[in-house]
Amino acid sequence: MDTANEVKRISVIIPIFNEEDNVDPLYSELKPILKEQERYEHEIIFIDDGSTDASLAKLESIQHEDKDVILLSFRKNFGQTAAMSAGFDYSSGDIIITMDGDLQNDPHDIPLLLENIEQGYDVVTGWRYQRKDPYFSRKLPSILANKIISLTTSVALHDYGCTLKAFRSEVVKNIRLYGEMHRFIPAIASGMGISFTEVQVNHRPRKYGTSKYGISRTIRVILDLITVKFLLSYATRPIQVFGLLGFVSGTIGFLIALIMTIQRQFFSIPMGDRPLLLLAVLLIFIGIQLISIGLIAELQARTYHESQQKPIYFIRNVYRSGDLE
**DSSP per-residue string spanning 138-167:** IIHHHHHHHHHHHHHHS---S-TT---EEE
CA max distance for the chain: 91
Higher pLDDT, 214 or 33: 33
- pLDDT for res 257: 94
- Statement to judge: residues 174 and 204 lie in one domain: yes
- pLDDT for res 311: 62
pLDDT over 50 at 269, yes or no? yes
Which of 211, 234, 257 corresponds to the end of one domain?
Answer: 234
pLDDT over 80 at 126, yes or no? yes
Q: What is the mean pLDDT of residues 23-41?
A: 95
- Statement to judge: residues 54 and 89 lie in one domain: yes
- Statement to judge: residues 61 and 207 lie in one domain: yes
Q: Give domain status of residue 217, yes or no.
A: yes
Q: How many residues does the chain have?
A: 325
- Statement to judge: residues 288 and 214 lie in one domain: no
Q: Give domain status of residue 83, yes or no.
A: yes
> Distance between CA atoms of 191 and 186, rounded to whole angstroms?
9
> Distance between CA atoms of 288 and 201, rounded to whole angstroms?
51
Is 126 in contact with 164 (CB distance < 8 Å)? yes
Which of 234, 257, 289 corresponds to the end of one domain?
Answer: 234
Q: What is the pLDDT of residues 115-124, one digit of tens each?
A: 999 999 999 9
Helix (H, G, I), strand (E, B) or coil at 69: strand
- Statement to judge: residues 199 and 134 lie in one domain: yes
Q: Give domain status of residue 100, yes or no.
A: yes
- pLDDT for res 4: 45
Q: Give domain status of residue 318, yes or no.
A: no
- Statement to judge: residues 172 and 291 lie in one domain: no
What is the percentage of the chain residues whose pLDDT exceeds 90?
A: 54
Has this prediction a pTM greater than 0.85?
no
- Statement to judge: residues 175 and 263 lie in one domain: no
- Statement to judge: residues 92 and 215 lie in one domain: yes
- Statement to judge: residues 252 and 224 lie in one domain: no
pLDDT over 70 at 5, yes or no? no
Cα 16 to the center of its chain, rounded Å: 19
pLDDT over 90 at 215, yes or no? no
What confidence tier does 161 reach under pLDDT thresholds 50, 70, 90? confident
Amino acid type, 166: A
**H or E segment to which residue 201 belongs:** strand 196-201
Give residue 273's domain range: 239-307
Could you tell me the CATH number of the domain that includes residue 176? 3.90.550.10
Q: Give domain status of residue 54, yes or no.
A: yes
Q: What is the mean pLDDT of residues 175-189?
A: 83
Q: What is the mean pLDDT of residues 33-59?
A: 94
Which of 234, 267, 283 corresponds to the end of one domain?
Answer: 234
Q: Give domain status of residue 322, yes or no.
A: no
> Distance between CA atoms of 228 and 219, rounded to whole angstroms?
14
Is 97 in contact with 166 (CB distance < 8 Å)? yes
What confidence tier does 279 reach under pLDDT thresholds 50, 70, 90? very high
> Distance between CA atoms of 309 and 128, rounded to whole angstroms?
38
271: phi > 0 → left, psi -120 to 50 → alpha, else beta; which? alpha
Q: What is the mean pLDDT of residues 200-227?
A: 77
107-116, 207-216, 246-255, 269-278: lowest mean pLDDT where? 207-216
- Statement to judge: residues 161 and 15 lie in one domain: yes
- Statement to judge: residues 211 and 194 lie in one domain: yes
Query: Which of 83-97, 131-145, 164-178 reaches the highest mean pLDDT?
Result: 83-97
> Distance between CA atoms of 36 and 30, rounded to whole angstroms?
10
**16-47 core/surface letters (b: 16 or more CB in 10 A; e: else):** bbbbbbbbeebbeebbebbeeeeeeebbbbbb
Q: Give domain status of residue 245, yes or no.
A: yes
Is the four-CA dihedral 257, 259, 262, 267 of positive or negative sign?
negative
Structural domain count, the chain: 2
Residue closest to 112 by CA, chosen among 100, 101, 99: 99
Helix (H, G, I), strand (E, B) or coil at 125: strand
- Statement to judge: residues 57 and 43 lie in one domain: yes
> Distance between CA atoms of 87 and 173, rounded to whole angstroms?
10
pLDDT over 60 at 190, yes or no? yes
Q: Give domain status of residue 313, yes or no.
A: no
